[in-house]
């Protein structure tokens, strides 16, 4: 490997300015009469821009003769006057555009760049899309939030957990807990006690005893796996996903604790601010990483990001002294916006996540075709499920609450393999939700609840209990009343949808036929 300086100025200026982190190829132009060195693929070239940003220095990595890929952001900084004197003199006095420097000179310049503008002198650090590394999928119930994550991570390594009101730091991260293990029984003389007869004759007797051991939970499991994958291939580590279901059903401040600080990621995907691990976690991580025999050839790969007197940050990670999220650890979560959360998420926590809204849409299969689920009340009364959901959302929830959070998603109920949702599921999930979460706050005399067949009962309006027949000691759902409610909501019967589809297909065929006749 050789090191060069290339001075870009005047008519030879090939790269003027690129935004931070941009990926670009720089084709070096040659001054008249000047010959270039024969660059090898691993050679490093320092480019000094004299125009238009006199103070800008960047480093490029060779990709072949006269072609280089940018590996450092272009920032104003590293002024020429601050460079080592031998470098200053060479740049000022030498008429050439390109010349070779020693490794020591290169290290001096790189050290200067790091101290003055905090740049990373290796291509191995590429910027990540911070819009994807920590993300919360949110929306109404049944919109497919978990399904979306499952689809996107189907080929990835995933560790999943669910938050609830009793979740805390120890159940998310880990803690010492009593566990059982087998221990050999010894007599008073310290000799193992053995079986005197039977199939295990002569073998030592083992007793199950209670011991305390550190038990890792979802976060530490994902953290350890991410670092193992990272050290196995630092340049392109395999991704690890920590998925948190129902993140707003737990007290996030209590559950995350000091891990909250790690959620600030830099442009390369690592935690901006490492935190000190407590003694229990530190001992556990040191044991786990040592057992896995993790090591990193170039610690500067990580250390250059933390130029604040932090010492060997990479080694501190391996020792378990600090916690630091690697770039390949993705934390994704789901949040049901209709839940009455016991612990609202504060704005500081929200700011550290990207948000992905899951709208209410018609259900599609993996190939993008309509699922065509239907609600079946009886053999003669079936309804298009999308029409059921749409009309309930617009004519009940939207009309009464004006709230998107309370609306139902297509997957609020799950259909059978034949794409059928029966009336029992509909009444006991959908109607129960409507009466328990929506209608309880409004007058019962809503137009869509009016039913003349009640004959004065309940003032002629449906209530939840009236969907059930409890005669003869048995409880069954009254399908006619469900049909009446759906008719009030003007839900599309299944046969009408089938006729509409047939008509559409026929119209398309007729149009195609007429176009053919015109062509002829």
Q: Band of the pLDDT at 332, cuts 50, 70, 90?
A: very high
What is the pLDDT, as a whole number, of residue 7?
A: 67
pLDDT at res. 111: 63
* pLDDT class of 512 with cuts at 50, 70, 90: very low
Sign of the C-alpha dihedral computed for residues 198, 210, 182 and 223 taken in this order = positive
Which of 2, 12, 1, 85 has its CA nearest to residue 48?
12
CA distance between the termini of the chain: 71
Q: Burial code of 214-229, b = ≥16 C-beta within 10 A, e = fewer?
A: bebbbbbbbbbbbbbb
Q: What is the pLDDT of residue 252?
A: 93
pLDDT exceeds 60 at position 63? no
Enter the tokens of residue 293: 């025999």
pLDDT at position 124: 42
Higher pLDDT, 37 or 171: 171
Across 66-95, average pLDDT:
56
Pick the most confident of 315-319, 458-462, 498-502.
315-319
pTM greater than 0.75: no
The two beta strands, 25-27 and 67-70, are antiparallel
321 pLDDT above the threshold of 80: yes
Q: What percent of the chain has pLDDT over 90?
A: 44
Q: At which residue do the structure tokens 């999220």 appear?
A: 325
Return the pLDDT at 393: 93
What pLDDT, on the 0 to 100 scale, is given for residue 485? 95
Looking at residue 197, its pLDDT comes to 86
Say whether pLDDT at 344 is over 50.
Answer: yes
Torsion 206-208-210-212 (CA) sign: positive
CA distance 509 to 507: 5
Residue 423, SS3? helix
pLDDT tens-place string over residues 253-293: 999 999 999 999 988 899 999 999 999 999 999 999 999 99
Q: Note the helical H segments in 162-273.
A: 169-172, 218-232, 252-256
| E strands in 13-66 | 25-27, 44-49, 57-62
State the average pLDDT over residues 88-94: 67
34-38, 87-91, 402-406: range with highest mean pLDDT: 402-406
pLDDT tier for residue 48 given thresholds of 50, 70 and 90:
low
Please determine, for residue 207, whether its predicted confidence score (pLDDT) is greater than 90. no
Q: Average pLDDT of 65-92?
A: 55
Tell me what pLDDT residue 39 has: 61
Residue 376 in tokens: 């079946």
pLDDT mean over 435-457? 88
Mean per-residue pLDDT over the chain, rounded: 79
Lowest mean pLDDT among 163-172, 314-323, 414-423, 505-514: 505-514
Query: pLDDT digit string (tens) for 2-23?
Result: 777 766 554 333 333 333 333 3
Rounded to whole angstroms, the Cα distance separating 297 from 38 reads 29
Domains observed in the chain: 3-117 (3.10.590), 133-169+221-359 (3.40.50), 174-216 (no CATH), 374-495 (no CATH)
Burial tier of 482 (Cβ tally within 10 Å: 0-12, 13-18, 19+): buried
Please state the rounded mean pLDDT for residues 336-364.
84
DSSP, residue by residue, 244-291: EETGGGS-HHHHHGGGGGGG-B-TTSSBSS-EEPPHHHHHHHHHHHHH
- Residue 516 pLDDT exceeds 60: no
Rounded to an integer, the average pLDDT of 218-227 is 97
State yes or no: pLDDT of 58 exceeds 70: no
196: DSSP letter: S
pLDDT at 78 over 60: no
Q: Cα–Cα distances in Å, from 373 out to 223, 331, 410? A: 41, 33, 9
């Amino acid at each position: 490997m050789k090191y060069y300086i290339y001075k870009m100025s005047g008519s030879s200026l090939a790269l003027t300015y690129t935004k931070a982190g941009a990926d670009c190829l720089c084709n070096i132009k040659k001054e008249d009469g000047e010959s270039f060195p024969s660059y090898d693929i691993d050679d490093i070239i320092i480019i000094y821009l004299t125009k238009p940003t006199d103070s800008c220095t960047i480093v490029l990595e060779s990709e072949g003769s006269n072609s280089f890929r940018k590996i450092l952001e272009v920032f104003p900084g590293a002024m020429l006057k601050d460079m080592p004197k031998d470098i200053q003199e060479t740049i000022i006095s030498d008429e050439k555009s390109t010349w070779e420097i020693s490794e020591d000179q290169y290290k001096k310049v790189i050290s200067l760049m790091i101290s003055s503008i905090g740049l990373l002198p290796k291509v191995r650090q590429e910027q990540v899309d911070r819009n994807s590394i920590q993300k919360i999928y949110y929306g109404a119930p049944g919109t497919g939030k978990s399904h979306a994550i499952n689809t996107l991570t189907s080929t990835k390594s995933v560790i999943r957990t669910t938050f609830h009101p009793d979740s805390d730091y120890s159940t998310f991260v880990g803690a010492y807990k009593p566990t059982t293990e087998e221990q050999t029984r010894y007599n008073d003389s310290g000799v193992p006690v053995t079986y005197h007869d039977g199939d295990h004759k002569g073998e030592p007797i083992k007793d199950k005893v209670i011991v305390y051991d550190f038990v890792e939970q979802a976060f530490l499991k994902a953290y350890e796996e991410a670092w193992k994958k990272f050290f196995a291939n630092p340049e392109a580590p395999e991704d690890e996903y920590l998925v948190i279901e129902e993140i707003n059903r737990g007290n996030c401040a209590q559950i995350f604790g000091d891990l909250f600080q790690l959620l600030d990621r830099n442009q390369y995907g690592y935690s901006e601010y490492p935190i000190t691990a407590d003694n229990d976690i530190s001992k556990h991580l040191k044991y786990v990483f040592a057992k896995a025999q993790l090591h990193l050839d170039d610690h500067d790969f990580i250390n250059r990001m933390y130029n604040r007197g932090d010492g060997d940050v990479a080694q501190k990670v391996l020792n378990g002294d600090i916690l630091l999220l690697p770039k390949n650890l993705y934390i994704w979560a789901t949040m049901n916006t209709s839940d009455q959360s016991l612990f609202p998420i504060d704005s500081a926590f929200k700011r550290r996540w990207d948000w992905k809204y899951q709208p209410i849409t018609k259900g599609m299969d993996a190939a993008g075709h309509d699922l065509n689920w239907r609600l079946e009340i009886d053999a003669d009364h079936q309804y298009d499920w999308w029409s059921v959901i749409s009309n309930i959302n617009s004519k009940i929830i939207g009309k009464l609450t004006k709230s998107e959070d309370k609306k139902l998603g297509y997957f609020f109920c799950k259909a059978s393999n034949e794409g059928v949702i029966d009336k029992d599921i509909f009444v006991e999930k959908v109607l129960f939700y409507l009466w328990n979460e929506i209608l309880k706050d409004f007058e019962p005399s809503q137009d869509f609840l009016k039913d003349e067949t009640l004959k004065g009962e309940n003032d002629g309006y449906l209530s939840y209990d009236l969907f059930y027949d409890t005669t003869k000691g048995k409880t069954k759902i009254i399908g006619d009343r469900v049909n009446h409610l759906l008719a009030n909501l003007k839900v599309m019967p299944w046969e009408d949808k089938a006729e509409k589809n047939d008509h559409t297909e026929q119209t398309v065929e007729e149009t195609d036929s007429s176009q053919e006749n015109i062509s002829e």
